[in-house]
């Protein structure tokens, strides 16, 4: 997961964890096994990479945003 996460550094993205939390923010970096995420309200959070199941780039259009939220909440 860490190698894949390095591709998202500096981009706004969704980070989904194993307990189904969905975090949104800019991935600022990786320190050890921790992802550093900065949210839109300038809070910085550290997320253990071992608990991350999915990282996806934040969509730019409204249609893409609706599809991602629909897929997240209504996935089988």
Each domain of the chain, given as residue ranges in start order, spans 2-74
- How many C-beta neighbours within 10 Å does residue 52 have? 20
- Please compute the mean of the pLDDT values over residues 48-73 and round it to a whole number: 72
* Global pTM value: 0.73
Give the pLDDT confidence of 25-44 residue by residue, as tens digits.
Answer: 999 999 989 999 999 899 99
Q: How confident is the model at residue 59 (pLDDT cuts 50, 70, 90)?
A: confident
Return the CA Rg of the chain: 12
Instruction: Determine contact, residues 36/46, Cβ cutoff 8 Å.
Output: yes
- Please compute the mean of the pLDDT values over residues 39-54 and round it to a whole number: 92
Domain 2-74 class? mainly beta
Q: Considering the chain, what is the average pLDDT of its residues?
A: 82
Which pLDDT does position 3 carry in this prediction? Answer: 83
Calpha distance 32→35 (Å, rounded): 8
Token reading at 70: 């629909």
3-state secondary structure 25-63: EEEEEEECCEEEEECCCCCEEEEEHHHEEEEEECCCCHH
């Amino acid at each position: 997961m860490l190698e894949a996460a390095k591709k998202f550094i500096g981009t706004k993205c969704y980070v989904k964890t194993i307990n189904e939390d969905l975090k949104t923010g800019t991935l600022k970096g990786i320190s050890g096994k921790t992802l550093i995420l900065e949210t839109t309200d300038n809070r910085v959070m550290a997320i253990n990479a071992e608990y991350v199941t999915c990282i996806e780039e934040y969509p730019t259009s409204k249609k893409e945003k609706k599809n991602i939220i629909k897929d997240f909440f209504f996935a089988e």
